[in-house]
Amino acid sequence: MLKLQNELESGSEAEQEPSKVFDSSSIEAPFETGEPSGDDRDFPGEVKTAWLTFHESTTHEEFIVGLRPQPTDGGVSLEPRAGILLSLAEHARNGNTSVIFIDEINRANVSKVFGQFITLMEPDKRLDTDGDQQQSTVGITFQQLDDGDEVKNPWGDDFTIEFPFHLPQNLYLVASMNSLDRSTAPLDSALARRFDQVSVEPDYTALADHLGTDAVTGVELSPDPQSVSPEKIAIALLWRTNQFLRSVYGDDFQLGPGYVWSVGEADSDTEAIEELAVAWDSRILPKLREVFRSREDQLATLLKADESLNGMNNPYHRDEIPAEWGKVGADGPLQLPDLRNLDTADQRTVLHGLARSD
């Protein structure tokens, strides 16, 4: 989403010179593009974007509109304050374009946060592209406001609310969510169907570009670990792991390229192997242990426990147990030592062996 926001803000270098360069350190604020030098634009008017992350404390008053205490001569008064959605909707109502990026959308109580805007999000319930009402356009009022009230947006500017309030077509919401996070709830179905939903698969091509190599998914690696680059081992390792996860749990359980992205920051093959070992020990294996916490036998299969890896004893193995324990269905504990404690050559051998599909 950051890449999309950047493109919206800056446009192509050949067509636009943005008045403000995208700065990831200040993504809480909206950004405005400069005036285009060409006549063609993908979105009408001035494009303004905002980024926010939903969490358990995100409220309707914060996102749409609420009352904020303000000191007065006689004490304290409550003044209306527009949230991100209402503020950027007003921007879009004036012939412009607004895009809101929401990360982790399902971490909040989404139905409560959006409120009656759930209905307004439907295209046929909004104004048309010319800003006129359609036959099915729906207008709303706000309990906190009166018609004609002046409302301050999060950036200190005032605008006037007119009832009934209609949502413009040129307001876009782009959201991301991880359906498998334990601390989140499934997205409300009434809200979910108002979004075009896109399942994002692991992008091995983007990972290969970042690592400076060719993607090798589905292609068996050479049996000689020394003849295979750390970057190709990383891609093949992630791909084999994901194929196993898909076969057991389904597509949603796949791991993203971020798990091995840091391998691309290494300055040498030795550093790359060491970084891949760290990524495996500290990011990938802990996730696998969580996923397979009640299915250790499947984790052992994925790790090729007790199998030889390129002629080397696999560090992942089961401890021996008394024979009588095995008669009652017990298995020896699965030992999962850190690969980072091995020398670089052994790290390469083990990681290469785990990446191979044979």
Distance CA 323, CA 321 (A): 6
The CB density around residue 20, as the number of other CB atoms within 10 Å, is 14
Tally of helices (H runs) and strands (E runs) in the chain: 13, 12
Distance CA 98, CA 170 (A): 6
Report the Cα 105 to chain-centroid distance in Å: 10
The CB density around residue 320, as the number of other CB atoms within 10 Å, is 10
Sign of CA dihedral 31, 168, 131, 144: negative
The confidence band for 101, taking pLDDT boundaries of 50, 70 and 90, is very high
The CB density around residue 27, as the number of other CB atoms within 10 Å, is 19
Write the burial class of residue 47 (CB in 10 Å: 0-12 exposed, 13-18 middle, 19+ buried): buried
Calculated CA dihedral for residues 128, 167, 84, 53, nearest 10 degrees: -80
Q: 140 forms bridges with which residues in the sheet? A: 165
Write the burial class of residue 185 (CB in 10 Å: 0-12 exposed, 13-18 middle, 19+ buried): exposed
Distance CA 191, CA 211 (A): 38
Tokens describing residue 153: 């947006």
pLDDT for the residue numbered 195: 84
pLDDT for the residue numbered 140: 92
* Contact present, 219 and 350 (Cβ < 8 Å): no
pLDDT for the residue numbered 79: 87
pLDDT at 287 over 90: yes
Cβ neighbours of residue 49 closer than 8 Å, sequence gap 6 or more:
5, 8, 9, 30, 31, 98, 99, 100, 101
Arithmetic mean of pLDDT, 322-344? 88
Would strands 97-103 and 158-160 be described as parallel, antiparallel, or unpaired? unpaired
Alpha-carbon separation of residue 292 from 43, 86, 177, 200, 301 (angstroms): 46, 44, 22, 23, 11
Tokens describing residue 65: 């509109």
pLDDT for the residue numbered 85: 95
Q: pLDDT (tens digit, 9 = 90+) per residue, 135-183?
A: 999 999 998 888 998 999 988 899 999 999 999 999 999 999 887 765 5
Q: What is the pTM of this model?
A: 0.74
Cβ neighbours of residue 304 closer than 8 Å, sequence gap 6 or more:
314, 316, 353, 354
* Contact present, 190 and 118 (Cβ < 8 Å): yes
Arithmetic mean of pLDDT, 103-128? 90
